């Protein structure tokens, strides 16, 4: 019975993410859903692409990223440590890549592309204890 309880603890969350993390996860989820749907629309509408293999690969990549972000959003919602790790890595990477873009094109709009993902990464980092697998109780 102890093995089943430990399995249930890993499947169902014994941790409760804060309301801020849940709001962030909901925003991620909506954005990811829109990204995936947009990619499907582009892929199925021949007038939106030139029909080359390269353009279809880009659309497929965008779709996969959208679905992946949707999975991360769901993991954040229920308090999974892997979702915290992926979310933190993705938003830190987005902030760094946007910072490179700001250096290359110093415009106020590109600066916003640094501030938003950096804020999200810092916020997720500040909530890391909610996702710490070492602190979960095993039965």
What are the tokens at 21?
């993390």
User: Which of 63, 62, 66 is CA-nearest to residue 29?
Assistant: 66
pTM, two decimals, is 0.71
Tens-level pLDDT at each residue, the chain (139 residues): 444 444 444 444 446 888 999 999 999 899 888 988 888 888 787 777 776 777 788 888 888 888 889 999 999 999 999 999 999 999 999 899 888 888 888 787 888 888 988 999 999 999 989 887 544 444 3
Domain boundaries, the chain: 18-79, 80-132
What is the pLDDT, as a whole number, of residue 17? 87
Residues 6+ apart with CB under 8 A from 62: 35, 38, 39, 42
């Amino acid at each position: 019975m102890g093995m089943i309880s430990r399995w249930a603890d890993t499947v169902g969350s014994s941790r409760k993410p804060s309301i801020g993390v849940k709001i962030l996860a909901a925003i991620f989820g909506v954005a990811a859903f829109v990204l995936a749907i947009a990619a499907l629309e582009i892929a199925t509408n021949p007038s939106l692409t030139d029909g080359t293999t390269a353009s279809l690969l880009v659309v497929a990549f965008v779709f996969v990223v959208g679905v992946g972000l949707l999975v991360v959003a769901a993991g954040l919602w229920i308090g999974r440590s892997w979702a915290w790790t992926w979310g933190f890595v993705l938003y830190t990477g987005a902030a760094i890549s946007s910072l490179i873009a700001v250096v290359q094109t110093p415009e106020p709009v590109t600066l916003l592309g640094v501030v938003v993902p950096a804020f999200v990464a810092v916020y997720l980092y500040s909530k890391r204890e909610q996702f710490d697998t070492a602190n979960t109780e095993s039965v």
